A and B are shown apart, each in its own frame.
Chain A
Amino acid sequence: MTDVLPQTRGRLKVYLGYAAGVGKTFQMLADAHELKQRGVDVVIGYLEPHGRKDTIARAEGLELIPRKKVVYRATSFEEMDLEVILQRRPQVCVVDEFAHSNVPGSAHAKRWEDVLTLLDAGIDVLTTLNIQHLESLNDQVWQMSGVRVRETVPDWVMKQADEVVMVDLTPRALLNRLERGVVYPPEKARRALENFFQESTLVALRELALRQTAHEVEIRQVTPPEFEGATDPGAPGEAAAAPTPSGSRDRILVHLTEHPSTAMLIRRGRRVADYLQTECFGVYVLTVSDFAKLPREKREAIERHLNFARNLHLETHVLEGSDVVETLMTFARLHRITQIFVARPQYSRWPAFLGINLVHRIVAEARDMQVTIVAERRRERRN
């Protein structure tokens, strides 16, 4: 990415929606036609029309790059043909479904990686994305809809977009379209109505998409809005840290462990850091002398979490220390951390009489920092 001059890099435009069927692809194709009319060299790199008549009709008259056949486990799949597009060198390439995972054996695991390659080659890209595919919202979306979205786009990739446009439709209009069979064939429509397409879920997802688009617009503004924190007295710990270029004095540390809740913790820390426009560290404390000495399962979980944190662009550190809390605190003070993110204690495993656990000790010893105990996201209230 760095070997390309900035002026030659392609521009990325994302059509953001809150569900399938709101009209993202349709809008994108309409814009592609307009570009073509103005004499721009536009091709369709990948289109997923879902058998929708309107969408298929809208693609007519645009050059379509044939998909590439990829055989995986004796089944043939069709993917975007990155090489052919790179050779064809259009000015603008239309790539539907930004969050798509390519079939194993493709050049990249994710379609968004293909898109970054196109951008690096100086090709502008128009793409579509639904809000539930944004990595940092994964837990919230699961809570709202009961669906754990597997295909996600990291937030830093979204940040690469030069333009994010919200494609809006009211939930009722969308439900009408679904009932009329415009969005999905009947069987799929019926299943869709059972999860994502419940009215309250749609309204909630729509609000998330609107807020996210507002955020995307805000961070792209030439002059960021005045940051009030710069003149505030500042919380303990905040005063010690020099403001970052954005004016923020917050610095966030996410405590990584082998526990499954770590993924959620990383997403939350990332999201808060993005909104505060500040740095985010992910720290794991190794209490044994050698990583290899850990049980395999634990080691794998930690490696997975470290990887995940790196994929979301957290600065990760593995520290050695016999005392987790002490090691964390030393690191935090050295790096002028203002907020530590920890997982909610697993109360069911810790009878009250056992008293002090990790979270309690962190809270007790972080006298100059704030400690955020991140909610354990679940769908139903425990009794």
Chain B
Amino acid sequence: MANVTISRPDPDRLLRQLDTQALEQQLSQERLKVFLGYASGVGKSFRMFDEGRRRRERGQDVVVGAVQPNLSPEIESLIRMLEVIPPKKVSGGEAMDVEAILARRPQVCLADGAAYDNPPGSRNPKRWQDILELVSRGIVVITSLNLQHIEERREVVRHITGTEAEETVPLSFLYAANEIVIVDVPPELLLERAGGPDSAEAAEQRRQLSALREQALLLTAEVVDRQLEDYLHAHGIEPLWGTQERILVCLTPGLNAEVMIASARRNAQRFHGEWVVVYVRHSLLSEKDERELQRQAEVARHAGAHVEVLDGDDPVEALMDFARSHRVTQIFVSPRRRRHWWNSVVGGPVDRLIRAAEGMDVRVFPPS
């Protein structure tokens, strides 16, 4: 037993390694593909085994490494067309037979249900760790996963359904996958119709499924956005567009920070986007101004913002460098109040910012 534990690759290390590989090999190298669903019954396993069948028809060497209990007749007939590596019996339970699969060395292995907990005494405690091991040995793995099993989303799911999954997979597993496919169907198809279609139970079920569905779509978008980021980075592309809203709040002395921060937070939330708060520290800043900026930054942090302090004697330049490299879509600013404060607009920092902010919206807030 002890030997097995020592020789087993560390999953965290595997994840890190895969992450680096992802950057180096960009998107094109096939490794791990995940079919993600928002609830059981959306048809992830079917899609997965059907892809296995099609790949086999195209001449790829495909095996089934793991199946889940209670197979539908449709899935059973798909599996019959494929070679199955039987699971290993371990202390009364079953686990994917990683050794047998490694010995068999297929091109592609189908492993249903990535969140499955292996029985005690297995090679790895979790199926997702088995999967990473296969991937690290050069086997392409296709697997399925439900939103509720993502560790970092358990809280959100519990908020929606009131229950929490015991078996979990870290979000980094999804990031390690270079392909993620969302299996999206209307909640209507999943409703069990407890108490009839118009009952309160059905309405509640529909609400929950719909909320889970939204979360699964957003999670997939996040994973896809990271893939895009990696791709752009690897190709040295600095795009003039953003796929999601990213709001940059610029703190400046004399602005109504509370209002601007609350608004940025609300907008980011409505767009399911991101927001970041910055201020520029430069040599002309008075001590009083700097203290005020620090106070504003505290307000922002309190509201849940990520705050960054930029250095640069040209504040507009520093802001724009940051905005461009972070694919910002909206900049929130406020001109400083003067006696004839609009005089400061023309040719002032806000004006310069508007000129420089190519491809970004600039939202100007009135000074306090």
A235 touches B365 (CB 8 A): yes
B243 contacts the other chain (Cβ, under 8 Å)?
yes
Q: Which 8 A/B pairs are nearest by Cβ-Cβ distance?
A: A364-B342, A214-B217, A210-B221, A143-B241, A207-B243, A166-B184, A217-B214, A170-B179
Whether A276 and B184, one on each chain, are in contact in the complex, defined by CB atoms closer than 8 angstroms, is no
Contact of B262 with A by CB under 8 A: yes
Q: Determine the distance from Cα of A371 to Cα of B357 in the docked complex, in whole angstroms.
A: 15
Question: Which chain B residues numbered 270 to 300 have a C-beta less than 8 Å away from chain A?
Answer: 270-272
Among A61-69, A312-320, A372-380, the stretch in contact with B: A372-380
CB contact between B259 and one of A171, A211, A228, A233 (< 8 Å): that residue: A233
Complex contact A232–B224 (CB within 8 A):
no
Which B residues, 162 to 197, have Cβ-Cβ distances below 8 Å to chain A? Answer: 179-186, 188
| Sample of 26 A–B contacts (CB below 8 Å) | A144-B243, A166-B182, A166-B217, A168-B182, A199-B231, A204-B243, A207-B221, A210-B220, A210-B224, A211-B244, A213-B217, A214-B217, A222-B203, A232-B262, A234-B259, A235-B262, A361-B342, A363-B335, A367-B366, A370-B364, A370-B365, A370-B366, A372-B362, A375-B359, A375-B361, A377-B241
Q: A229 contacts the other chain (Cβ, under 8 Å)?
A: yes
Residues of A within 8 A of B270 (CB): 275-277
User: Is the CB–CB distance between B342 and A223 below 8 Å?
Assistant: no
Assess whether A365 is in contact with B342, with CB atoms less than 8 Å apart: yes
Residues from chain A with Cβ under 8 Å of B53 in the complex? none
Question: CB-CB contacts of B295-309 with A at 8 A, as 1s and 0s?
Answer: 000000000000000
For residue B269, CB closer than 8 A to chain A, the reply is yes
- Complex Cα gap A54–B204 (Å): 38
- A214-B272, A217-B210, A380-B240 given; A203·B363 CB < 8 A: no
Bound form: Cα–Cα A222–B205 in Å: 11
Cβ contacts under 8 Å, B364 to chain A? 363, 370-373
Q: Does A355 contact B (CB under 8 A)?
A: yes
Closest to B210 in A: A221
> Is B158 part of the contact surface with A, judged by Cβ < 8 Å?
no
Q: Given that A233-B259, A371-B364, A382-B358 are contacting pairs, would A211 and B221 also be in contact in the complex, using a CB cutoff of 8 Å? A: yes
Instruction: Find out whether the CB atom of B214 lies under 8 angstroms from the CB atom of A218.
Output: yes
Pick from A185-193, A328-336, A344-352 the stretch touching chain B.
A344-352
Considering the complex, give the chain A residue whose CB is closest to the CB of B263: A235
Interface SS, A side: mixed
**How many residues on the A side are at the interface (Cβ–Cβ under 8 A)?**
73
Given the complex, which residues of B lie within 8 Å of A171, measured CB to CB?
27
Q: Is the CB of B211 within 8 A of A221?
A: yes
CB proximity to A under 8 Å, residues B214-232:
214, 217-218, 220-221, 224-225, 227-228, 231-232
| Contact A203 B217, beta carbon cutoff 8 Å | no
B181 in contact with A375 (CB, 8 Å): no
Q: A200-B228, A203-B224 are in contact. List 6 more A-B contacts (CB 8 A).
A: A200-B237, A228-B266, A361-B342, A364-B342, A370-B363, A380-B240
Pick from B181, B184, B256: contact of A170, CB below 8 A.
B181
Q: Is the CB of A363 within 8 A of B262?
A: no
The reply to whether B262 and A344 form a contact with Cβ atoms under 8 Å apart is no
Partner of B228, one of A204, A361, A364: A204
A345, B354: Cβ atoms closer than 8 Å: yes
> Which one of A13, A208, A378 lies within 8 Å of B243 (CB-CB)?
A208
Task: Tell me whether B1 is interfacial, beta carbon within 8 Å.
Answer: no
Q: Which residues of A contact B27 (CB under 8 A)?
A: 171-172, 199, 203
**In chain B, what residue has the closest Cβ to A339?**
B363
The stretch from B6-14, B116-124, B131-139, B343-351 touching chain A is B343-351
Q: A228-B265, A363-B342 given as contacts; is B217 within 8 A of A344 (CB)?
A: no
Select which of B207, B220, B240 is within 8 A of A381 by beta carbon. B240
